[in-house]
Amino acid sequence: MVVSLNHAHNTTIEEIPSAYQTALAQYDRAVSRLDLDENVVEFMRWPRREFTVNFPVRRDDGRIEMFTGYRVHHSTIMGPSKGGVRYSLNVTLDEVRALAMWMTWKCSLVNLPYGGAKGGVLVDPKTLSMREKEGLTRRYTAELIPLISPQMDIPAPDMGTGPQEMAWMMDTYSMTVGYSVPAIVTGKPINIGGSQGRAEATGRGVIICMIEALKRRGIIDESNITIAIQGFGNVGSHAAAYAQELGFKVVAVSDIDGGIYNANGLDIPAVQKYMAQNRTLAGFPGADTVTNAELLTLPCDVLIPAAMEGQITEHNAPHLRTKMIVEGANGPTTTEADDIINDRGILLVPDILANAGGVTVSYFEWVQGMQEFFWDIEEVFRNLERILIRSYDGTAQMMEKHGVDMRTAAQMTAIQRVADALQTRGFYP
């Protein structure tokens, strides 16, 4: 067990390793390859703001229960900060810090005028009734009013939240300021200013990046490519559906309780229907049961970790049986695992590129909301593909130029852009 110091607060963490330690290790690796001013390097290590709130929620039986929430702005160099809000029992300030930092690099990599932010509430959303969830979302939003606005920080859905939570956030903010502000959040329902294609965007983007990687390796026969996907939430389910639609063979998927495997391929629409009815994949007919850990080491051409951070570690990386990893989740691979994967010659398309489809279409939604001028789904998907392929190309060029792995290349590209903008703006005051 590794005991180490948390960078921003000198508290001891007994974990292997925390998300923030992974984020900082990746950052250090990338900046060591760049010729940057040491003051700029030090500045970008630190989150700009960290906000912790404790707030009451009235449960259905009349009890008042206290909840803790966070919002971290890592950077505002490139523009307002942008990032999701997750409801999970795993939420910690440390995790939110890491996710905010990754958001900064992700937005920079795909050239969006945003810095990174992230938020979360320590709660299991499955234990809340609809009314309790609304109360929690509205009160959390009210606590964030000093930090959020369409020009300052724009929340979005993440693990445990979705369009309905964004609708409540938008309404709470709008009621507070006295007029309707659709651009305060992205990922909201289409009938109150959401964007076509936003729900599918992250999963679709993962597959766009996967196809680009396959093409560059000279592999274009979809029917022979097998894919295993850990996670069947918004990202994993849409990635699976789009992959199957294009003719790829999805052999395994999993949710929080475990997964299903069929070497001949799963019928993804049937899996989605089963999931909607049963709220679990367990018991899906015509497939073998696998654990989340087992899914990661199944034989496949492409492995898509689309669940939690820290899933691929030094312990299971030697046992992976895949040719390519495309990261649908944020931070699913530890730095030690990265080294093993690179040594084994497995191509890894990193999270800040592979799952940037969500924030890209969030940007489209924000632009549409600010202009009150809306696009059709074809325009959304066309622009999404254009931005992701351009970003993939830039990353591949950096990779070739410096002889580094793809994650380091993506981070180098993103960090260089933020560093250049910081030096142009200068240090205030």
Catalytic residues: 118
Residue-wise DSSP of 285-331: TTSEEE-HHHHHTS--SEEEE-S-SS-B-TTTGGG---SEEE--SSS
First CA to last CA distance, the chain: 43
Neighbours of 387 (CB within 10 A): 21
Strand 302-305, strand 324-326: pairing: parallel
Is residue 175 within 8 Å of 142, Cβ to Cβ? no
Written as one letter, the residue type at 150 is P
Give DSSP secondary structure letters for 76-128.
-SSSSEEEEEEEETT--HHHHHHHHHHHHHHHHHTT-S-EEEEEEEES-GGGS
CB atoms within 10 A of CB 130: 9
Rg (CA), the chain: 21
DSSP, collapsed to helix, strand or coil, labels residue 221 as coil
Residues in the chain: 429
How far from the centroid of its chain's Cα atoms is residue 172's Cα?
Answer: 25
Q: Strand 81-88 vs strand 153-157: parallel, antiparallel, or unpaired?
A: parallel
Query: Hey, what's the torsion of the CAs at 129, 134, 135, 136, to 10 degrees?
Result: 90
